[in-house]
Structure 1
Amino acid sequence: MTERKCLLIVAHAPSPNTRRLRDAVVEGARSEDVDGVEVVVLSPFDTTPEHVLAADAIILGTTENLGYMSGALKDFFDRCYYPCLEETQGRPYALYIRAGHDGTGTRRGVETIVTGLRWKAVQEPLLCRGDWDEAFLERARELGLYLAAGLEAGVL
């Protein structure tokens, strides 16, 4: 029997729609098509370096706040960066952003930090831009499913 992999989802979800996005990512990651992955879902404030160290891959979710990542996700990075720096190099990750505008500053901010951590992006960030669109949910499900399936298959 193969050892179960751990997919950590660190998502800031302060509104009903951002909770729906997070829940869609989780739904995809916990698909019945994926059996060998444990999915751990935490807010950035509740995530510790130990959670990151135990994860085989990470999905980060944030809102765009004043053209940058949420303060909650920045707090997560502030607390976890140095304790995880040497131990998590090469860690696969993906990012989704709920952006009222274009999301580019938010993406740049997150990518700058994960570049320093030397994490490996395994797909393009999912940018949910502008007014709410129900299609965001299907793309979020796919993000969770693809990361969990890739982790289970050993390709990440």
Structure 2
Amino acid sequence: MKHLLIVYASQTGHTFMMAESVRRGAMQLADEVETRMLPALQAGLDDLLWCDALLLGTPENFGYMAGALKDFLDRTYYPAQGQVEGLPFAVFISAGNDGTGALTAIERIARGYPLQNMAPPIICKGELTAMVLLACEELGATAAAGLSCGLW
């Protein structure tokens, strides 16, 4: 059984709704991929080392990722060195602006682990739409399918 970890931060509930959609997509392969979804402040090193792929969700705060997600990355960065090289990851962002600041920061940190990007980011600019939530569901399904067939 492969393991998919979804770590998210949410204040308004938008990123949580995106994370739920990601989880719903991943659950389509629940017999083959175990999915764990955690708020960033509750996720830790053991969760990161458990997973075979990582999906990170954050709102854009002041052109940057949420402090809670940054905290998760800070707490796991050094202890995970040498243990997660090449771990596939993808990002979903709820943005009031364009989301590029948050994405750039996450991608820079991910290169340091180093993680492997498995899918284009989903950036929701403004209000959540059914189309964005569907894209999130497809991201979860894609991640789970890639794990299931050994792509990652």
Instruction: Please say whether Structure 1 and Structure 2 have the same fold, judged by a TM-score greater than 0.5.
Output: yes
Q: Which residue number in structure 1 is paired with residue 70 of structure 2?
A: 74
Question: In angstroms, what is the RMSD of aligned CA positions?
Answer: 1.1
Q: Which residue number in structure 1 is paired with residue 21 of structure 2?
A: 24
Q: Which residue number in structure 1 is paired with residue 44 of structure 2?
A: 48
Q: Which residue number in structure 1 is paired with residue 6 of structure 2?
A: 9
Deviating more after overlay: 21-30 vs 126-135: 126-135
1:137 and 2:129 are equivalent in the alignment: no
Query: Secondary structure at 2:112's aligned position in 1?
Result: helix
- Alignment partner of 2:88 out of 83, 86, 92: 92
Q: CA deviation at 1:34?
A: 5.1
| Counterpart-to-counterpart distance in 2, 1:131 and 1:36 | 33
Q: Which residue number in structure 2 is paired with residue 148 of structure 1?
A: 144
Letter in 1 for 2:7: V
Identify, as 1 or 2, the structure richer in strand.
2
| Counterpart-to-counterpart distance in 2, 1:35 and 1:149 | 11
* Deviation sequence 1:31-54 (CA, Å, 0-9, x none): 1x4521000111110111111011
Letter in 1 for 2:18: L
Residue-pair matches, total? 152
TM-score (norm. length: structure 1): 0.93
- Alignment partner of 2:101 out of 105, 123, 132: 105
| Counterpart-to-counterpart distance in 1, 2:74 and 2:14 | 26
| Counterpart-to-counterpart distance in 1, 2:15 and 2:47 | 22
Q: CA deviation at 1:129?
A: 1.2
Contact 2:15 / 2:93 at 8 angstroms: preserved in 1?
no
| Counterpart-to-counterpart distance in 2, 1:135 and 1:35 | 27
Q: CA deviation at 1:130?
A: 2.4
1:61 and 2:57 are equivalent in the alignment: yes
Query: Secondary structure at 2:129's aligned position in 1?
Result: coil
Contact 1:34 / 1:149 at 8 angstroms: preserved in 2?
no
Query: Secondary structure at 1:79's aligned position in 2?
Result: helix
Instruction: Give me the identity figure in percent.
Output: 39
Contact 1:10 / 1:43 at 8 angstroms: preserved in 2?
yes
